[in-house]
Amino acid sequence: MIHHTIEALLKNNRSWVAQKLAFKPEYFNELDTEAKPSYLYIGCSDNCMSLTRLTQTKPGEIFVHRNIANQVSLTDFNFLSVLDYAVDHLKVQHIIVCGHYGCRGIKAALEGHTSGLVDNWVNPIRELYWQKKDEIDCLSTKAARINRLAELNVMVQIKNLYQTSIIRKCLQKNNAPQIHGWMINPKTGLIEDIEIPLFRF
């Protein structure tokens, strides 16, 4: 993996701006208009694949929230503020909870080698593993176990999403966004739309 200096990152930025302006002089003026994204994306901080490249979307089309292992925490006011803004102000039509295979946050929870705040953060995933231990442990490789736990984690985070007061209010008014579960496969670049259970509350 290439590690750039801060100076190199700034130089790359200037080069990128020059390329955009050479191709389309009004590029940044167009970006300055108020964006109305249709999607809220809840993804993992660890994912090294660019969402806009994977989906061929433009800046402003997707409203993004990221954290370690794509958690939907009912006590995280940062996340809840993003969700509230996306639903009540942006009026997004879709919410995507997206994990990825080989997730280091999932691996940390499964192996139990974390400490400090990270350990607290991934503890719900560790608890999920203990709930699904028989299903996960019967898989033949560590990679398969991590990936299955990552899939199950997406399903649990969607369940958490339905438990927020924000989504429950939308459901009562019959105007809730569609909710989707995705997994990114970094080895292929493909996004898998995973089947999620029908949650009833």
Q: What is the pLDDT of residues 13-54, one digit of tens each?
A: 999 999 999 999 988 888 766 678 999 999 999 867 778 888
pLDDT at residue 50, rounded to an integer:
79
Q: Which CATH entry fits the domain spanning 34-194: 3.40.50.720, 3.40.1050.10, 3.50.50.60, 3.90.1150.10? A: 3.40.1050.10
Residues of the chain with CATH 3.40.1050.10: 34-194
Residue 74: name the closest of 156, 181, 171, 151 by CA.
Answer: 156
Residue 199: pLDDT above 70? no
pLDDT digits (tens, 9 = 90+) for 69-100: 999 999 999 999 999 999 999 999 999 999 99
pLDDT single digits (tens) 113-137: 888 899 999 999 999 999 999 999 9
Residue 2 reports pLDDT greater than 80: no
**Confidence band for 112, pLDDT divided at 50, 70 and 90:** confident
3-state SS track over 95-134: EEEEEECCCHHHHHHHHCCCCHHHHHHHHHHHHHHHHCHH
More confident residue, 195 or 1: 195
pLDDT, tens digit, for every residue of 131-168?
999 999 999 999 999 999 999 999 999 999 999 999 99
- Asked if the model's pLDDT at residue 200 lies above 70, the reply is no
d(CA 189, CA 59): 20
